[in-house]
Amino acid sequence: MGLLQHQFSKEFRDIVDFVYNQHFVLDQKLKKEYTDYQKMRMREDIEYNLSFLEISYRLDDKTIFHEYSLWLMSLMMNLMPHVGLTRMKEKMVLHYQLMKEAFKIIKVYDNIDIINQMIDDAILSTNNFQNYAYDAFVTDDRFGLMRRKYLDYLLKHDSKSAMNFIMELFNAGFTLDEIYIDIIQKVMVEVGQLWHRGDIGVAEEHFITVATQSVLSQFYPIIFSTTKKNLRLLSCSVGNELHEMGIRMISDLFEYHGWDTLYLGAAVPKKSILESIESERPHVVALSVTMPQHLLLCRDIALEIKTKYPDVLVGVGGRAFTMTNEIWKTWNVDLYATDARKLIQLSEEKVIRVD
Ligand code: B12
C-alpha cells in the first residue's frame, strides 16, 4: 500500500505510533519475529487503515470506513488464508480496539463519539464478515464474452492480440463509448478484483494497465479528427492520486464527441487548476478521485472553482465516490456520473442551458 501518500496531522501520527507500539506490547514475540522490513510494512498498513478512518470522520461520511473495513477483511483473508477466518477476525477486531484506545488517550478530534461509532461499525462488519460479494464479470450482456477475450489475451501477456482484437471490434462497428466503457472499464475493475483476491500480483496488474493504455492510444488519430462543437472540457485527477486512466478515458471520449479537451493528468496543484480555468475558460471541469483520501481536497477545489467561476460547470466522479453515502449531493457541484457516457450526456444537457 506504500504508494498512497497521505498527509496526517501531528496528533494522528501519535495515534499511529500508539497502535503500532501496542501491537508489540500485546504480543512480545512479534518484536523478535518481525524483520525491520515487516515492521515498516506494519506501520504503513496502520497508517493506511487510519487514513480511511480520518477521511471518513473529516467528511462526516461513515460509509467510507464501513466499505473499507469489508474490503480490508477480504484482502487480509486473500493474503493470509492460512490464518483462518476466526483468527483473522480476532486480529482485526484487536486492531480496531487498539485504535479506540488510542483515540481515548490522545486527543485528536472533539467528537470522539463519532470516531467510536465508526470503529464499532467496523468491528461489527468484521465479525459478520463472510465473503466479499463481487459483481459477476462475464454477465449476459452482449459485451461479456468480449471482455473475457480481451482479459485473457492480457493475462497471457499477448498485448499484440489484445490491441488487434479491440481494433477489430471498432472496425466491426462497435462505438468507442462501448469499447471504452462496456469493455475496457469493466475489465479494469475485474483486474482490480483479481488483485484483491490474490489471483494476480502487482506486476501483472501494472502490465495490464500499461498494455491497456497502449490499446487506448491507438484511437488517438480517430479521437482527434472529429468535428468540433466549440465546447471545452478541462479534466484532472485530484491530489497525489496515481489513478488517472478513468479521467483520461473521459477526456478521450469528450474529444471524440466534438469537445476541445485539456487533460492535465494527476497531481495538479489547486493553483494551477485555477490558472488553467482562467486562461482556457472551459465549459466543464471534471475532477476525478479514486482513493477516498483525496475527497477532501476535491471538495475544496470544487468549492473554489464555483466561487471564482460560478458559470463553469463542475463535475466530480471516480471510484472514491461509490464508497460514500452520495457525498457529492452535499457539495456545490453541477455534475456527477459513474461513467464517461453519462457525464457527456449530462454535460451537453446542462451546458446548453447555461450558454
Ligand atoms: C489500474 C489501477 C492502478 C494503477 C493506476 C494507473 C493509472 N495510470 O491510472 C496503479 C498501479 C498506479 C494503482 C495503484 C494503487 N492502487 Co489501484 N487500481 C487500479 C485498477 C485495477 C483499475 C483503475 C482503472 O483504471 N479503472 C478503469 C477506469 C476506466 O474506471 P474509473 O477510474 O472508475 O473511471 C470511470 C468512472 O469512475 C468515471 N469517472 C472517473 N473520474 C470521473 C470524474 C468525473 C467528473 C465523473 C463525472 C466521472 C468520473 O468515469 C470513468 C470512465 O468511464 C483499480 C480497480 C477498480 N475497481 O477501478 C484498482 C484500485 C482502485 N486500486 C486500489 C489500490 C488499493 C491501489 C494502491 C493503494 C495499491 C496497489 N494496488 O498498488 C495504489 C494507490 C495509488 C495511489 N497513490 O493513488 C484499490 C482501491 C481500494 C480501496 N479500498 O479504495 C482498487 C479498487 C483495487 C481493488 N479492487 O482493491 N492502481
DSSP labels for 8-73?
Answer: --HHHHHHHHHHHHHHHHH-HHHHHHS-HHHHHHHHHHHHHHHHHHHHHHHTT-HHHHHHHHHHHH
**289 and 186 together in one domain:** no
Q: What is the pLDDT of residues 135-175, one digit of tens each?
A: 777 767 889 999 999 999 999 999 999 999 999 999 999 99
CB 74 within 8 A of CB 126: no
Cα(109) to centroid(ligand 1), Å: 30
Please tell me if the CB atom of residue 202 comes closer than 6 angstroms to any atom of ligand 1: yes
Q: Is residue 1 part of a domain?
A: no
Q: Which domain holds residue 180?
A: 144-218
Please tell me if the CB atom of residue 108 comes closer than 6 angstroms to any atom of ligand 1: no
Greatest Cα pair distance in the chain? 68
Q: State residue 7's pLDDT score.
A: 61
Task: Let me know the angle formed at the C-alpha of 340 by 196 and 69, rounded to the nearest 5 degrees.
Answer: 30
**277 and 300 together in one domain:** yes
- Residue ending a domain, among 127, 159, 181, is 127
Cα(104) to centroid(ligand 1), Å: 34
pLDDT at 319 over 60: yes
Please tell me if the CB atom of residue 319 comes closer than 6 angstroms to any atom of ligand 1: yes
**Residue 237: other Cβ atoms inside 10 A:** 28
Q: Is residue 3 part of a domain?
A: no
Please tell me if the CB atom of residue 250 comes closer than 6 angstroms to any atom of ligand 1: yes
Nearest CA to ligand 1 atom 82: 291
Overall average pLDDT of the 213-227 stretch: 95
Q: Is residue 154 part of a domain?
A: yes
Overall average pLDDT of the 30-45 stretch: 88
Q: Is residue 344 part of a domain?
A: yes
Q: State residue 133's pLDDT score.
A: 65
CB 3 within 8 A of CB 242: yes
**Total of domains in the chain:** 3
Please tell me if the CB atom of residue 317 comes closer than 6 angstroms to any atom of ligand 1: yes
Torsion on CA atoms 31, 33, 35, 41, rounded to nearest 10: -70
CB 295 within 8 A of CB 327: yes
pLDDT at 1 over 70: no
**To test ligand 1's pocket by mutation, which of 187, 261, 290 has the most ligand atoms within 8 angstroms of CB?**
290
**173 and 250 together in one domain:** no
Confidence bin at 28 (pLDDT 50/70/90): confident
Q: Is residue 5 part of a domain?
A: no
Mean pLDDT of the chain: 92
Q: What is the CATH number of the domain that holds 328?
A: 3.40.50.280
Please tell me if the CB atom of residue 4 comes closer than 6 angstroms to any atom of ligand 1: yes
pLDDT at 4 over 50: no
